[in-house]
Amino acid sequence: MTTSRIGPGQTGLPDDLRDVVTVELEEIDETLSVMVAEQAAERTRDGELLTQRLGLDGERPETLTLLGARYELSRDRVRQLYTRATGQMVRRVWATGYPDTAVFAARYPVGQGDERLVRALLTEIYATDSDIAAQDLAYLRLRLAGHHLMDAKRLAGFVFQRIAGWQQRGRWHPLGSRPAEPVTGPLIPLLRQVDWATGNPDPLPDMPITTVDSADDARGSIFSDTLGRETSFDTALEARLLRMLDESEQVASYTERPVAVEYRLDGVQRVHYPTVAARLTDGRALLIDVAPLARIAVHGNRIKLAAAAAVAQGHGWGHLVFTGSRIGEPDLREHTVAAQQESILLGRLAQGPVDWSEFRGYATETGIDVTDLAALVLRHGWRWERGPFRLDREG
């Protein structure tokens, strides 16, 4: 395999995530979910750990520090358990031939140049907001594709280095260089998607909430000219949003991780920290969540985002979901799906839930894509679960 140097300014990442959200990318995660389920049959905690670390449930992957706090273990011990679990899982797949890993071999072929492989992995990670587990995801996908151990480690290391480069001061925006003057254009379409509250907005918090993993080394930080202090972010999508706010002449101030949103998901109490709250120069304020287009309609995210919207309303703030695409949540609800595609799926769901194998066949037959699926889920209030995939009309 030829080693290629990939310059920090040559990311090739898409400006609109709709361009890379595909059924094939969903199949990669679904195949991983099947593998994790097999591992969990012997070790229940392995299933939970792998799902949460890799974000297979459709939510953002979790830091090793946060997982350590949840299981009352050190960060290093969590890393050891994760490494052991993935090793056992991969060996089981190779020994049994189940599930079929052809999808990995086709997507990350052995012999393809380093630069193309790294760019493909970076694009997928960016599109799914998975930077926190980028190295782990890259390594696992490459190994399952048949890459030699050392090649998989080396290429996954390149992915990690690129993301670390995004997180360095002055290089934190992957889509372009910093403009000399404030800008308005990129923010205006987003403001049209805000669900605004009525009444006078509450003041923004002065500083972000400190979480158990606030100092985790998976996070990036930059100096904000608007705030006159360091700000932190977890992913390139968050960095893109913060950069937009910092450079916009319409933004007076903002605070990252401004509130803790408590909610329940399937009977389990959870806490969510929205990305940022911003005050505009016209006096309005809004709470902004980052949820990539490929994940916005997944059940866990729907519950979380609804809870954040309710908190925003209580503060007199608007609520916005930044999807990394020109298509926002309101646009998705109005997105046109072919009548035949919609009617076939409506009729099938009337009979009961749909699993991945059935949906994959339906997608191949009708040409429906992930954006279409997200639109239908939001429009009809269906329940879309991942890790493993399950689509049900009962939301």
Longest CA pairwise span in the chain (Å)? 63
| Last-in-domain residue among 315, 332, 349 | 332
| 236 and 120, same domain (yes or no) | no
Helix (H, G, I), strand (E, B) or coil at 287: strand
Cα(211)–Cα(257) distance, rounded to whole angstroms?
9
| 141 and 31, same domain (yes or no) | yes
| 212 and 273, same domain (yes or no) | yes
| Last-in-domain residue among 305, 332, 359 | 332
In the prediction, which pLDDT does 370 show? 94
**Mean pLDDT, to the nearest integer, of 218-225?**
84
| 375 and 361, same domain (yes or no) | yes
In a domain, 11, yes or no: no
| 201 and 320, same domain (yes or no) | yes
| 269 and 134, same domain (yes or no) | no
DSSP label at 195?
Answer: B
Which domain does 48 fall in, by range? Answer: 17-166
Fill in the amino acid letter for 144: L
7-21, 125-139, 173-187, 339-353 — which is least confidently predicted? 173-187
CATH number of the domain residue 231 falls in: 3.40.1350.10
| 277 and 361, same domain (yes or no) | no
Cα(158)–Cα(137) distance, rounded to whole angstroms?
13
In the prediction, which pLDDT does 185 show? 53
Per-residue pLDDT band for 232 (boundaries 50, 70, 90) equals confident
Quick one: which of 211, 191, 218, 377 has its CA closest to 301? 377
Average predicted confidence (pLDDT) for the chain: 90
In a domain, 176, yes or no: no
**Mean pLDDT, to the nearest integer, of 199-206?**
95
| 321 and 340, same domain (yes or no) | no
Cα(392)–Cα(350) distance, rounded to whole angstroms?
9
**Mean pLDDT, to the nearest integer, of 149-177?**
75
Residue 50 has pLDDT above 70, yes or no: yes
**Within a 10 A sphere around the Cβ of 136, how many other Cβ atoms?**
22
Instruction: Look at the chain and report how many structural domains it folds into.
Output: 3
Quick one: which of 356, 309, 349 has its CA closest to 329? 309
Strand partners, 221: 232
Residue 114 has pLDDT above 50, yes or no: yes
| 294 and 193, same domain (yes or no) | yes
In a domain, 172, yes or no: no
Residue 167 has pLDDT above 80, yes or no: no
Residue 318 has pLDDT above 50, yes or no: yes
Cα torsion angle, 62, 241, 162, 116, sign: positive
| 151 and 247, same domain (yes or no) | no
DSSP label at 284?
Answer: -
Q: Which runs of consecutive H residues, i.e. helices, occur in 43-98?
A: 44-54, 64-71, 75-96
DSSP label at 179?
Answer: P
Strand partners, 384: 391
In the prediction, which pLDDT does 168 show? 62
Greater confidence (43 vs 217) lies with 43
**Mean pLDDT, to the nearest integer, of 353-381?**
96
Residue 157 has pLDDT above 80, yes or no: yes
Per-residue pLDDT band for 317 (boundaries 50, 70, 90) equals very high
Residue 339 has pLDDT above 80, yes or no: yes
In a domain, 1, yes or no: no
**Mean pLDDT, to the nearest integer, of 367-382?**
96
**Mean pLDDT, to the nearest integer, of 267-282?**
96
Q: What DSSP line would sit under 198-257, residue for residue? A: PSPPPPPPSSPPP-TTTT-TT-EEEEETTTTEEEEESSHHHHHHHHHHHHBTTEEEEEES
In a domain, 328, yes or no: yes
Give residue-wise pLDDT tens across range 78-103. 999 999 999 999 999 999 999 999 99
In a domain, 6, yes or no: no
In the prediction, which pLDDT does 202 show? 97
| 320 and 350, same domain (yes or no) | no
In a domain, 275, yes or no: yes
pTM over 0.95: no
Give residue-wise pLDDT tens across range 279-290. 999 999 999 999
| 326 and 345, same domain (yes or no) | no
In a domain, 173, yes or no: no
In the prediction, which pLDDT does 13 show? 73
Residue 169 has pLDDT above 60, yes or no: no
Cα(303)–Cα(298) distance, rounded to whole angstroms?
9
Note every long-range contact of 277-280, with CB atoms under 8 Å and residues 24 or more positions apart, other chains counting.
277/204, 277/205, 277/317, 278/204, 278/245, 278/251, 278/253, 278/254, 279/201, 279/204, 279/251, 279/252, 279/253, 279/254, 280/250, 280/251, 280/252
Q: Which runs of consecutive H residues, i.e. helices, occur in 97-198?
A: 102-107, 114-128, 134-144, 149-166, 188-191
